[in-house]
Structure 1
Amino acid sequence: MYYRVLRINVENGNWYIKEYDGNEIIGPVDLGIHIHEELKTWEKDVFDPSNAVIIGTGLFAGSKLFGTHRLVVVFRSPESRTLHVAAMGGAAYRFIGCGVHAIVIEGRSSKPSIIFVKGNENGVEHVKIEYIDPEELEKIYSGYGEYIGAYALQKYLMDKYWDYIYSTKARPLVVGPAALKTVYGAIVSIDIDFNKKSFIIGSEDFAARGGAGSVLAQAHNVVAIIAGGNWKPQLPKDLIESIALNELFKRIAGKDFVSLVNEATVKYRYDPNIGAGGTFGVNYPHYRELLPLFNFNTMYLPKHIRKKIIDILLENFWKPFKEETYAKGKWTMTTCGEPCPAACKKIWRGKKLDYEPTNGLGPYIGVLELDKTAKLVDLADQLGYDAIVAGHLVAWLFEAVYKGLLDPSDIGLNDRPIMDPMIMNIEILSKNAELAEILLKNIVNHSTEVLKIIATKGIRMAAKYLDEKYMDRIKKIGVKFEDLVVYLPYGDQGYMTPNFYWTPGFLLPLAVTGKYWTNYTSTFTEPEEFAKTVAIRAIKEYEIENAGLCRFHRGWAEKNLSQLYSLIGINIDIDKHAKSMYQKIALYSIKAGAKPRFLESEKAKDVILTLSVEFNVSEWMGKYIKDREATIREWWSRAGKAFAQQMELSQDWIE
């Protein structure tokens, strides 16, 4: 089995195909690490044209295995300043037809460019590049076909190149204005109904974390990729015929494949104990008082107060979703774009709602009305933001205004948002939604000097800039800008904001964070004990991502992945392989000057501290009371060293 790769230089239009031995490169993350090592991209600026964007599938793409058509993107992040991985569901189902497992984009186009790749039964038939004038692109982003931003660009491409898209059954990958104007840009793709020449609502997805779209747009001047065709990778009968696949799983797992998948994906399809499914449907009633709301400020409140807030949230925010999405006889849900019984994409009033974007642009910024939140998520999606970081941005700036570190006019607002979770009045809080809509647009438009810095430098460097600019305000109020936002620092400039879970798992010294390559449960244990669970998940999540597998299928996939690889002629210890590749990411981080550092945000430190109180861990609570800073550093350092030991990282990983 070979991993087939198309390398394109968009500066001169040259391209070639290379095949990598499947026992060395077994997936897109492996390839991304290899390419970035080869190019020594740690030596260059993050927006240098050498910062290759690797977009690829796993080796099981094209099979009948559910969940194996995730499209994975590897790049050097303008946020963390080290290697990062982002992925979108379902897009590889169309992409694999282009004739290769992965495309590598290098060089910088002189004009905004669109890459076309067409595959036939023998592989890649042709590669071409077309251009779009910047003025025309700006006009499209402003509004086309009832959409704006990335959605408008995809609609424009569908209208202009429909014959090509239809004949190749391609699913365009595009970027929005957030990718061109900020470091928070996503790569966006919406699946297409080829019979109706329209979007399939709910099947939109995003390779977003870390700013993948920003690198594609700003390092390479590529705004769209249209890749498809009828190439089919050669896979064994057991993986491409449904009857044979079911027999295979009866042998290796004791159950037919569909039954195994249905059992493993209950949460994402429909949990009868909750009466809902999907991450949005399950997380709110499951995590309840452990949900981070109001820019993590709810973690400072006693549990009985948080319970009241959650009760309000469940009644007014979650219940409307449950009642309408699961209305009798007309469940509104779909898949990410590949055949899958989980149908995890739940649609409410025409908008797909997943937990992270909805929480980030809802309760996390003080908006407790679902209709207003859905509108904000849609705006962030169309502008082409990473919706998770968009939530952090808005919450951070809202609290900075609320506390007096910023005037509303500093960020183009004409009113002050409310960021006090004790104000349990939905109507009073509703103005936050209106202000968030203005702010999301203002960041992309660089509407003020402050927002231009925030858009182009990233949260951490912008916070340092604001600390200097508004030193008098800081002295008066007694809090710095970085103290109001949660992130893990990398080197002198990099950082990564966490996913929306109250856990130390996203704030440990990990080579890759902001993703689920960690233990993200809300718990507090001895640091060494917790670190062991983080190391296990880092290895397993690497394997799932590298296989192009949806992590919603991890329940069945992790147990059977080695045997599935053996079917295609790859016989390696995948745990050992994943650990060795993770070590390479860590070594890259050292070369790039982007090792993780101890927390510098007081709120980030509190994420760890407050959990010891939440779970009544008396020994650590006592230490915190005696010496807060030293105790947090002790727990963090011990956990970090234990993780480094488990992963066999270099001795200087933790300083």
Structure 2
Amino acid sequence: MLYGYTGRITIVDLSSRSFKTIDLNEHIAKLYIGGKGLSNYILYNYGIWDYEPYTPGNLLVFASGPLGGTRIPMASRAWSAFRSPLTSILGGSNLGGSLAAYMKFSGIDALVVKGSSSDPLYLIVEGGSVEFRSASHLWGLDAIETEEILQRDHGRDTAILAIGPAGENLVRFASINHDRWRQFGRTGGGAVMGSKRLKAIVFKAVDKIVNIAYPDKFDEYLKDLTKKLLPDPTTKALREGGTPRLVEIANRIGFFPSYYWSKVRVDGWENIEWSSMKKSYFIKAGACLYCSVACHRLVESRKFNVRVDIEYETIFALGGNIGIVDPDWIIVFNDLADRLGMDSISLGNVIGFAIDLSRRGLIDYKISWGEPEKVRELIVNIAYRRGKLGEILAEGVALASKILGAEDLAVHVKGLEPAAYDPRTLRGMALGYSIAGRGADHLGTMAYAIDIAGRAGGRLSLAEEKVKTIVEYENLGALMDSLLLCKFGRYIYNFQNMTEVLNIITGWNYTPEQLVETAERIVTLTRFINSKMGVDKSKDQLPKKFYEPVEFEGKEYKLTIEEVEGALNTYYKMRGWDEKGVPTQERIKKLSINESKIISI
């Protein structure tokens, strides 16, 4: 028995409306764990670089991990992976909620979807079996409506993934929604589902048992871990203010991207920081399945009669980044993004880009900072690809900038728009954005956490100590994404206690050193896959805007190409990659990255 796993991967072919269920090879499970590691191995094993994002050959992988469904705190994440239509390299996203547990309750560790359907479909996954149902009555509905209908039809003892109109219309940053307010948000998985004419997936529980190698030890460990978790200052802060608490910190310190990356503090930020919003908009806290932290913040705009689960990134992207500091309107935009099915970070960036171009007289559409009615119109037009500008912006910032002849003004790395951390005042993020596996990503390296805490030389350092710390955090993050632990657990979990819990659940005999090597294997595999799609040092480049000085409280902050180049070279050397940023054959061999076809898709 493979403890901690169901031991099964289900592979669905939408073109033939067929499926097969195969055994999860224990050797592969030990090498890649689950989640990100297992998903990326499946894509590597398949040769994902041979298939363009919108072709039937592109795979869509959903994976749980050995901790999913076990009641371990902060272990309620799930992973999705595919070739991204936004970046054309390895795409991936992570969400919370109930999916990780219900995948295993439905009898599988991973679901692999290939092919495409001629008509809209949704899938029912139950006991390792798959049923194909018509989704013609769901096509055109928003993601939340779709989930509500499927819950009504199939019961609440389910976990549902659904796309909205943006996914159907192949908006390149379309999201996949779950549990009403949770998303696989980044890199366009919703558009991949839309290209396959796959509206939704329903995971139905068969049983709710995860077999654990040492159940008595597990119960004791769970008690001890919970005792450590509750008084931890970071988790306590998340319980009290969720991620919106960062709005005040970001504006006070000066890293809150505003007016499309032209400032690091938005005028009127006091209106959108959490203590202010809490008084007039807060309804209650929410949590992912089996999580005691409860970092989610349900808020309501009584003015517009709208409720959403609001996050820091959305307050940035659909607030300060476009010059809006009215919480009612940010809540409305959040609701539209959720229902229409779009990543709020990319959406806010692409709208900010459009406003910047309009103010410069480079497009015909007239819009400026702080014009919420026009923003609402743009959001809808993007989701439905209406009008010339809606059609262009649905392509994302990188492709839109090429169409509009404004590449020098576009803010992205490898096609992915960045999150709410300005690298001019948080220098670790300059390296983090440059080398992250999916583009301008903040969660791959978690460098923002290092910078905000002032660690490794402080917020303005990109010296060797900072690079070394970023490598360590990236290793930690890769393992957390494969065990599927929440990144907010980074102050609770470390390689020592992650080894302990993994061994108790699986019965394996990992050492912390072996788990570090596993993390390094996952990071290098990710880079190796991307290198087969053209990624090397030439693509690890920041946008020109990040090298323009930014002023904050009378002081000028300027990032230089030389310091970023130096950090990149140091990073590659630490990773055992060559001077072009490509993993060497020696490194690949040492990390046992196996090219043989162990999993047949």
TM over 0.5: yes
Q: Within 1, Cα distance between the matches of 2:214 and 2:313?
A: 36
Q: Within 1, Cα distance between the matches of 2:462 and 2:172?
A: 36
User: How far off is 1:137 after superposition?
Assistant: 4.0
Describe the SS at the equivalent of 1:557.
coil
User: How far off is 1:560 after superposition?
Assistant: 0.9
User: How far off is 1:586 after superposition?
Assistant: 1.1
- 1:5-33 superposed Cα distances (whole Å, 9 cap, x missing partner): 11111111222222221323410222222
- 1:30-80 superposed Cα distances (whole Å, 9 cap, x missing partner): 222222122212022111222211111111112121121211111111122
What residue number does 1:248 align with?
A: 221
Question: Structure 1 39/263 Cα, relative in aligned 2: closer, same or farther at 3 Å?
Answer: same
Match of 2:225 among 249, 257, 262: 257
- Equivalent positions of 1:224-235 (< 5 A) are 224-232=200-208, 234-235=210-211
User: How far off is 1:268 after superposition?
Assistant: 4.8
Question: Structure 1 615/417 Cα, relative in aligned 2: closer, same or farther at 3 Å?
Answer: closer
Relative to the length of structure 2, the TM-score reads 0.84
User: How far off is 1:579 after superposition?
Assistant: 0.8
Question: Structure 1 510/644 Cα, relative in aligned 2: closer, same or farther at 3 Å?
Answer: farther
Letter in 2 for 1:496: L
Q: Within 2, Cα distance between the matches of 1:512 and 1:575?
A: 21
Question: Structure 1 110/271 Cα, relative in aligned 2: closer, same or farther at 3 Å?
Answer: closer
Aligned residues: 545
Question: Structure 1 228/515 Cα, relative in aligned 2: closer, same or farther at 3 Å?
Answer: farther
- 1:154-179 superposed Cα distances (whole Å, 9 cap, x missing partner): 223234x2xx334xx11210011111
User: How far off is 1:610 after superposition?
Assistant: 4.5
Match of 2:183 among 156, 181, 206: 206
Q: Within 1, Cα distance between the matches of 2:47 and 2:238?
A: 47
Match of 1:284 among 248, 253, 256: 248
Describe the SS at the equivalent of 2:192.
helix
Asked if 2 retains the 8 angstrom alpha-carbon contact of 1:171 and 1:226, the reply is: yes
What residue number does 2:410 align with?
A: 485
Letter in 2 for 1:602: K
Describe the SS at the equivalent of 2:201.
strand
Q: Within 2, Cα distance between the matches of 1:38 and 1:562?
A: 26
Question: Structure 1 462/648 Cα, relative in aligned 2: closer, same or farther at 3 Å?
Answer: same
Q: Does 1:372 align with 2:334?
A: no
Match of 1:129 among 132, 136, 153: 132
Describe the SS at the equivalent of 1:130.
strand
What residue number does 1:507 align with?
A: 433
Letter in 2 for 1:359: F
What residue number does 1:44 align with?
A: 51
- 1:470-490 superposed Cα distances (whole Å, 9 cap, x missing partner): xxxxxxxxxxx233332113x
What residue number does 1:646 align with?
A: 574
What residue number does 1:334 align with?
A: 286
- Equivalent positions of 1:123-522 (< 5 A) are 124=128, 126-133=129-136, 136-138=137-139, 140-141=140-141, 149-159=142-152, 161=153, 164-166=154-156, 169-181=157-169, 182-190=171-179, 204-218=181-195, 220-232=196-208, 234-236=210-212, 245=218, 247-248=220-221, 256-264=224-232, 266-270=233-237, 276-285=240-249, 288=252, 289-299=254-264, 306=265, 309=266, 312-315=268-271, 318-324=274-280, 332-336=284-288, 338-349=289-300, 350-408=307-365, 415-418=366-369, 429=370, 432-456=371-395, 458-467=396-405, 481-489=406-414, 495-503=415-423, 504-513=430-439, 514-518=441-445, 519-520=447-448, 521=451
Farther-moved stretch of structure 1 (552-561 vs 106-115): 552-561
Letter in 1 for 2:255: L
Letter in 2 for 1:207: F
- 1:105-152 superposed Cα distances (whole Å, 9 cap, x missing partner): 111112111011112xxxx2x31111223xx445x42xxxxxxx1112
User: How far off is 1:262 after superposition?
Assistant: 1.2
Question: Structure 1 447/236 Cα, relative in aligned 2: closer, same or farther at 3 Å?
Answer: closer
Q: Within 2, Cα distance between the matches of 1:212 and 1:77?
A: 7
Letter in 1 for 2:227: S
User: How far off is 1:575 after superposition?
Assistant: 1.0
- 1:571-609 superposed Cα distances (whole Å, 9 cap, x missing partner): 341111111121111111111123352536321333xx5
Q: Within 2, Cα distance between the matches of 1:290 and 1:247?
A: 42
Q: Within 1, Cα distance between the matches of 2:564 and 2:16?
A: 48
User: How far off is 1:245 after superposition?
Assistant: 4.2
Asked if 1 retains the 8 angstrom alpha-carbon contact of 2:163 and 2:200, the reply is: yes
Match of 1:603 among 513, 536, 545: 545
Asked if 2 retains the 8 angstrom alpha-carbon contact of 1:27 and 1:57, the reply is: yes
Letter in 1 for 2:293: A
Describe the SS at the equivalent of 1:340.
coil
Question: Structure 1 595/454 Cα, relative in aligned 2: closer, same or farther at 3 Å?
Answer: farther
Asked if 2 retains the 8 angstrom alpha-carbon contact of 1:7 and 1:104, the reply is: yes
What residue number does 2:81 align with?
A: 74
Letter in 1 for 2:186: R
Percent identity for Structure 1 against Structure 2? 21
Asked if 2 retains the 8 angstrom alpha-carbon contact of 1:392 and 1:485, the reply is: no
Question: Structure 1 459/316 Cα, relative in aligned 2: closer, same or farther at 3 Å?
Answer: closer
Question: Structure 1 285/28 Cα, relative in aligned 2: closer, same or farther at 3 Å?
Answer: closer
- Equivalent positions of 1:503-542 (< 5 A) are 503=423, 504-513=430-439, 514-518=441-445, 519-520=447-448, 521=451, 523-542=459-478
Asked if 2 retains the 8 angstrom alpha-carbon contact of 1:51 and 1:76, the reply is: yes
What residue number does 1:197 align with?
A: none
Q: Does 1:92 align with 2:18?
A: no
Match of 1:548 among 484, 506, 523: 484
Letter in 1 for 2:484: G
Relative to the length of structure 1, the TM-score reads 0.78
Q: Within 2, Cα distance between the matches of 1:269 and 1:228?
A: 34
Q: Within 1, Cα distance between the matches of 2:378 and 2:226?
A: 45
RMSD: 2.6
Q: Within 2, Cα distance between the matches of 1:43 and 1:416?
A: 41
Asked if 2 retains the 8 angstrom alpha-carbon contact of 1:94 and 1:171, the reply is: yes
- 1:500-523 superposed Cα distances (whole Å, 9 cap, x missing partner): 111224432333342411212352
Larger radius of gyration: 1
Asked if 1 retains the 8 angstrom alpha-carbon contact of 2:72 and 2:290, the reply is: no
What residue number does 1:423 align with?
A: none
Asked if 2 retains the 8 angstrom alpha-carbon contact of 1:507 and 1:604, the reply is: no
Quick check: which one's helix share is greater? Answer: 1
What residue number does 1:561 align with?
A: 498
- Equivalent positions of 1:30-41 (< 5 A) are 30-41=37-48
Question: Structure 1 635/654 Cα, relative in aligned 2: closer, same or farther at 3 Å?
Answer: farther
Describe the SS at the equivalent of 1:230.
coil
Asked if 2 retains the 8 angstrom alpha-carbon contact of 1:267 and 1:277, the reply is: no
What residue number does 1:475 align with?
A: none
Asked if 1 retains the 8 angstrom alpha-carbon contact of 2:258 and 2:320, the reply is: yes
Q: Does 1:109 align with 2:97?
A: no
